[in-house]
Amino acid sequence: MSYLELFVESFATLALNKVRTGLAILGIVIGIGSVIALVSLGQATQQSIENQIQSLGANLLTINPGAQRSGNVRTASSSNTLTNEDAAAIASSSEITTIKSVSPEYSSRSQVVTGSSNTNTSIIGVVPAYLDIHKVTIDSGSFISQSDVDSLSRVAVVGPQIVADLFSGSNPIGQVIKIGSQNFTIIGVTVSKGGSGFNNQDDVIYVPLSTAQKILFGASHLTSIAMEANSSDIMTAAQDEVGYFLLSRHKITDPSKADFSIFSQQDILNTASSTTGTFTTLLSGVAAISLLVGGIGIMNIMLVTVTERTREIGLRKALGAKKRIITIQFLLESIILTFTGGVIGVLLGILASYIISVVSGSLFVISFSSIFLAFAVSTIIGIIFGWYPARRASNLQPIEALRYE
């Protein structure tokens, strides 16, 4: 009996009981579909987070007040350890050769009102360098200028979310908003960067740094200093160079007692990738369990099939069918079940991933490695869980099988 004949006979046997065959396939379909959909969800989340981080700026270094070290977090005695003078010194020092530009920043939250509309949003005091360092693009109007900073101008540049919340999408240029108790005139609107919650880069208002410090919040310190390194290859060197420079300025001899922390874009990206990678692995593990359950379901179906076809097996062996042929036939039936379930599962998994991306507005990411892995695992499961029923069928004694009722 040729392999082609065995395949045709196996397929015909499965087709005789469509309901049972369909239920056996369903377990594999759900398992593979879940693996692909959940891996896609995890990778889309990871890609979205990476895109948001990278959109903050290229070769970005950020200095924050306070210090962090592995094992525990040590906060400096005061969180007001960064000043405008620190930023100016970094920008003008001949000792620092790895930094292209510097952006001192002060950020806080405040209630913003215009007419009958209001919102609570992030207010960032900036200088003109902020635009290039953080890769902010102006959609209409203009950004904060140096003259605005020098003259403590009460002007503001708003993100698209602010436009939607306060102006219902209409043109806000020239309109007046009240930040706290101060009136500001809108001079520009930024291009959308995306995000959600407190990390929404569109839900922000930019004002001159001097205005934020002296008029809005009464602060003399900075909440951060952003810097753009000359290239991505010297990020570590730039961190060290700026770090030792600030240690010297703050008269700190022991680096472990630094009253500031310097983070690179890559540090943040690595941390985010590690977190989302763990999340994806967890989702994949949960989905893999359903794939295993599907395999066990196929084994149960095949064992029932062996029992039902005991007399048929006995007759075939009595007519000279070898154990190898019996084994191959039942193994083929198991593989056909998992292969068919694998194909349907892959298609449904891709469809589910697309629907999730459309509904949630997230990226549509399909990992071909996860498709291949899920498909390969399903085939292996078909072989593993089909082997025992196939061996059991081939080991039946012809006389006992023919007497089976």
Which amino acid belongs to residue 47?
Q
Cα–Cα distances (Å) from 351 to 343, 348, 358, in that order, read 13, 5, 11
More confidently predicted of 271 and 189: 189
Is there a contact between 208 and 153 (Cβ–Cβ < 8 Å)? yes
For the stretch 110-128, what's the b/e string if a residue is b when 16 or more beta carbons lie within 10 angstroms of its beta carbon?
bebbbeeeebebbbbbbbb
pLDDT of residue 72: 42
Most confident of 75-84, 160-169, 374-383: 160-169
Most confident of 226-235, 264-273, 323-332, 369-378: 226-235
Q: For the chain, give the number of residues.
A: 405
Q: What is the mean pLDDT of residues 66-86?
A: 63
Q: Which residues pair with 157 in a beta bridge?
A: 188, 206
User: pLDDT tens for residues 331-389?
Assistant: 777 778 778 888 888 888 888 888 888 887 777 877 777 777 777 777 777 677 667 66
Task: Find where tokens 């240029």 sit.
Answer: 173
pLDDT of residue 278: 75
pLDDT at position 330 over 60:
yes
Rounded CA gap, 382 and 70, in Å? 47
For the stretch 244-276, what's the b/e string if a residue is b when 16 or more beta carbons lie within 10 angstroms of its beta carbon?
ebbbeebeeeeeeebbbbbbbbeebeeebeeeb
pLDDT at position 28 over 80:
no
pLDDT of residue 170: 87
Token pair belonging to 161:
């979310």
